Structure 1
Amino acid sequence: MRSRSTLGTVAVLTGALAAAGLAFAPTAGAVSPGSATATYDCGTWGSGTANLTATQSGTAATITLTSAITTPVGVGADTISSTLTMAKAGGGTRVFTGKKNPALAAGQSVKIGPLSGTVASGDSLNSYFAGVALKMVIFGVTVNCDAVTSQSPGPFIFS
């Protein structure tokens, strides 16, 4: 009898410890704000406002960009190789890359992402800096876009 009681006690304690562990487990990170706008100049491709949406799960983060800039030619799904470089407050950069886009007809707004990158807790990132913020390679042609305004309402801050 005594061993059954001990096993039952151990099972109850193990379940309680597991539940407590879940209650105190670290949560996935959150980025704030979740979306922002900035203006980009893409040379002959034009200029305009882009909406950036960020997500975070731990140190993994993604950014999706939808722009007022339109593509002069139709492009197939997942054919635009993109690199988004963001300035980190205090110095340095973080880079988000990917080859993700929906099929786009000529004259349609460019949408890329999610672009993947790695962040650290406390990173404050803005695509506005001295350099090419967004580089897209389409059919072997490189399109460089400079951010000409800071993000509004502010930089992405990762937790």
Structure 2
Amino acid sequence: MRKSIRRPVARAALAVGAVAVAGLAFAPGAAAVSPGSATATYDCGTWGGGSATLTATQSGTAATITLTSAVTTPVAVGANQISANLTLAKGAGGTTVFSGKANPALNAGDPVTIGPLNGTVASGDSLDSYFAGTALSMTIFGVSVNCDATTSQAPGPFVFD
């Protein structure tokens, strides 16, 4: 009789273990940023300006932002030829800089897309590109292009988990 009791208990333990493992497989990701994308308006001086879309991702303390701008490139630009720094104001004071040399190949007249730019964030960071100063600085073929954000991000700042 002892064997007959042990087997169902062992089977039940195996079933509980299998359910637990399956639950881990479907568990949500470790960190998230909200909102995942936002828009803001930038003024890049003689280079133009307009609305830009910023898309953010997060994995722990590592975060990336990709920016697609209304500013267009006057000439073709090869992949990974634009060096960029995107400075975001922290809601609690200070700034966080996302940087990199990452862009897709761009034809003349294409909207400038930069990123993913890499940065480090802390849980609870609230970041917006609207502040007094240059929000986006780019170097393209040795030429510096500086852009100021003229509006806050909509629907709001990026808040990191």
1:29 equivalent among 17, 28, 31: 31
The amino acid of 1:34's aligned partner reads G
Cα distance in 2 for partners of 1:121, 1:48 equals 31
In the alignment, the residues of structure 1 paired with residue 129 and residue 120 of structure 2 have an alpha-carbon distance, to the nearest angstrom, of: 15
Q: Which residue in 2 is equivalent to 1:48?
A: 50
Alpha-carbon separation, structure 2, partners of 1:26 and 1:33: 17
Partner Cα separation in structure 2 for residue 109 and residue 27 of structure 1: 32
Task: Write the deviation string for residues 50-105 of structure 1: whole angstroms up to 9, x where unpaired.
Answer: 00000000000000000111011211110000100000001011110011101111
Q: Does 1:58 align with 2:60?
A: yes
| Match in the other structure for 2:130 | 128
Report the TM-score, using the length of structure 2 for normalisation. Answer: 0.84
One-letter amino acid matched to 2:129 = S
Percent identity reads 77
Equivalent residue for 2:144? 142
Query: What SS does structure 2 have at the residue aligned with 1:110?
Result: strand
Q: Which runs of 5+ in 1 are unaligned?
A: 1-11
Aligned-residue Cα RMSD (Å) equals 2.4
Give the counterpart letter for 1:81 in structure 2. S
Equivalent position amino acid for 1:98 in 2 = G
Structure 2 unaligned blocks of 5 or more: 1-13
Q: Does 1:102 align with 2:104?
A: yes
Corresponding residue SS for 1:48: strand
Letter in 2 for 1:149: T
> Which consecutive segments of 4 or more residues in structure 1 shift more than 2 A?
none
